[in-house]
Amino acid sequence: MKKIIIIHTGGTISMKEDKSSGEVSTSTEHPLSNSASIFNHDAHIEEDFLFNLPSPQITPAHMLELGRRIHDKLAAGNFDGVVVTHGTDTLEETAYFLDLFLQTRKPVVVTGAMRSSNEIGSDGLYNLISAVRVANTDEAQDKGVLVVMNDEIHTAKNVTKTSTSNVATFQSPQYGPIGIITKQEILFHQKLIAYESYPIQQLNKNVALVKAYAGMESNFIRAIHNAGIDGLVIEALGQGNLPEGIIPALQEMIDDNIPIILVSRCYQGIVQATYTYEGGGRQLKNMGLIFANGLTGPKARIKLMVVLELTNKLTELSPMFE
């Protein structure tokens, strides 16, 4: 029988609803503690209660601590797979950080819940059991960090929370899930073609994320620059274009050797240097902005934080985002 470790970090999956007011809050004792063992007899399960945080309170420091905990558990505990429970608000950022940080072939599966443990139709226990089933599967090896929610298996790289409250919130808009979970089977039908990992010791870089909008001007970008950042991610317009009003401020950042990563505020498609007008992608690329292929803004930020621990040279950073 395989050994699976569940590492709890908090989130709605660890919370309870007050039946009279409808308010949802953290509880001192995890409401699903031991339930994975009770409902799944196919794996030997151990649990570790690392944090009890709503995920808006998760910081990069927590992500690194979690990454180290998984590394240590896999190294010392003879575990075959890992399940992480996490709040759904920042789940995709933590999952992608783990994907970039960990160097393991073993399944690492992140899950959460949209409805707290005692709400009608709660998805917490169901998702937890599904995640354990996936982590207990040979086919889940060598697939990077996975996110399991609502009978679907997604890659940490492509998944995003799409609805504020629907239990079918986690989707991979461009590529779809890489597998599905049925009552009897775990079925994979896709695999990423490349994996990357970066052995970093710290996660301290200050990277800002902004969304472009019509009429955006340089003073806003200068305020961010003056705040003292190590890097900037911009969710650009369409294929990777920006209002011409911010070009002078972007040039000042580039002159200061601050890397700027460009993604799109569209939720599908990739950015590319197509247009030659002022603020068009061609000009931005020629200035030295780095086009990130297919990442969302929050994930490009996590990746820039990670790779800035290794280098801040534009020529070295650029190929890492292709």
- Under rule CB under 6 A, residue 87 binds ligand ASP: yes
Q: Which of 4, 114, 135, 307 binds ligand ASP (CB under 6 A)?
A: 114
CB under 8 Å, gap of 24 or more: what pairs does 284-289 form? 284/236, 284/240, 284/241, 284/242, 284/250, 287/247, 287/250, 287/251, 287/254, 288/254, 288/260, 288/314, 289/234, 289/250, 289/254, 289/260, 289/261, 289/262
Angle between helices 60-76 and 91-101 (to 10 degrees): 50
Pick the closer one to ligand ASP by CB: 87 or 177: 87
Annotated active-site residue 12? The verdict is yes
CA–CA distances in Å: residue 251 to residues 155, 218, 246, 273: 35, 10, 9, 17
Q: Which of 46, 48, 65, 89 binds ligand ASP (CB under 6 A)?
A: 89
Least Å distance between CB 21 and ligand ASP?
Answer: 17
- Under rule CB under 6 A, residue 124 binds ligand ASP: no
- Under rule CB under 6 A, residue 127 binds ligand ASP: no
Q: Which of 9, 11, 186, 218 binds ligand ASP (CB under 6 A)?
A: 11
Residue nearest to ligand ASP (CB): 87
The contact pattern for ligand ASP, residues 35-74, with x = CB under 6 A and - = no contact, is -------------------xx-------------------
Distance (Å, whole) CA 316 – CA 234: 19
What is the helix (H) or strand (E) element at residue 108, kind and residue range?
Answer: strand 108-111
Least Å distance between CB 320 and ligand ASP?
Answer: 29
Distance (Å, whole) CA 241 – CA 202: 33
| Cβ-proximal residues to 122 (8 Å cutoff; 6+ apart), any chain | 113, 115, 116
Q: Which of 5, 8, 12, 236 binds ligand ASP (CB under 6 A)?
A: 12
Contacting range for ligand ASP; rule: CB under 6 A; set: 85-93, 149-157, 199-207, 292-300 = 85-93
Residues that bind ligand ASP (CB under 6 A): 11-12, 54-55, 87-89, 112-114
Catalytic (active-site) positions: 12
